[in-house]
Chain A
């Protein structure tokens, strides 16, 4: 089952801004809502954003998401050490009738 495409790793400095990308197609990212999840080592994932750009309560305003065409983005401002984690994008794929995930991006905060 084809998944979404994410860069394997991104490194940024403390207090800098990181933008993570997620590329799909018109069956998923382009026409279905995209979610972003954060996963720290040894822990289950946590939802950061749903339906393209909606932030659940309790999620820091430093996390913002957007979508343009078949590409979704997650921007994290003012990077903190605790932001170092794996980040996954996810969407419903209408042609597969399946939830698809990206391969994940490992964010390193230098």
Chain B
């Protein structure tokens, strides 16, 4: 059974930092490109970042560029998102996802809620 389990969310003050983790199982993580996608309360989906299977290719949304860092550890079947200089508008459920618009076989975690508030 495929599982993506996010952790690390919580309440953080503006300007603070948080590190999200995503533990993958049930599929070949090491050959899968991965993404972080977020969804603010009551809003639509917003892509955050992409990392290729080898970590050689990384992309970020303009809204997080310079503040967030995506990484992965294929030996641990894990995906990470280091978030710094957090703002109120970063408040959202963050999904770890094996997803790409041109690729079959999507997997999504249940999400972890990040709340940025004083």
- Residues of A whose CB lies within 8 Å of any CB of B are 1, 32-35, 37, 39, 44-47, 50-51, 54, 56, 86, 88, 90-92, 96-104
Chain A residues with Cβ under 8 A from B44's Cβ?
86, 88, 101-104
Interface centre among A1, A96, A99, A103 (most CB of B within 10 A): A99
Q: Inside 8 A of B47's CB, which chain A residues have their CB?
A: 90, 98-101
Contacts A44-B95, A97-B59 given: A33-B110 contact, CB under 8 Å? no
Residues A99 and B102 in contact, CB atoms below 8 Å apart: no
- Per the 8 Å Cβ criterion, residues 46-102 of B in contact with A are 46-47, 50, 59-63, 95, 97, 99-102
User: B residues engaging A (CB < 8 A)?
Assistant: 35, 37, 44-47, 50, 59-63, 95, 97, 99-106, 108-111
With contact pairs A99-B35, A99-B50 given, residues A44 and B108 touching in the complex (Cβ less than 8 Å): yes
User: Is A34 within 8 A of B101, CB to CB?
Assistant: yes
Which A residues lie within 8 Å of B97 (CB)?
A: 44
Q: Are B46 and A92 in contact (CB under 8 A)?
A: no
With a cutoff of 8 Å between Cβ atoms, the chain A residues found around residue B95 in the complex are 44-45
Selected A-B contacts with CB under 8 Å, 27 pairs: A1-B61, A33-B102, A44-B110, A44-B111, A45-B45, A45-B95, A46-B108, A47-B106, A50-B104, A51-B101, A51-B102, A86-B44, A88-B44, A92-B100, A97-B59, A98-B47, A98-B61, A99-B35, A99-B37, A99-B100, A99-B101, A100-B47, A101-B45, A101-B47, A102-B44, A103-B44, A104-B44
Nearest B residue to A100, CB-CB: B47
Do B102 and A32 touch (CB < 8 A)? yes
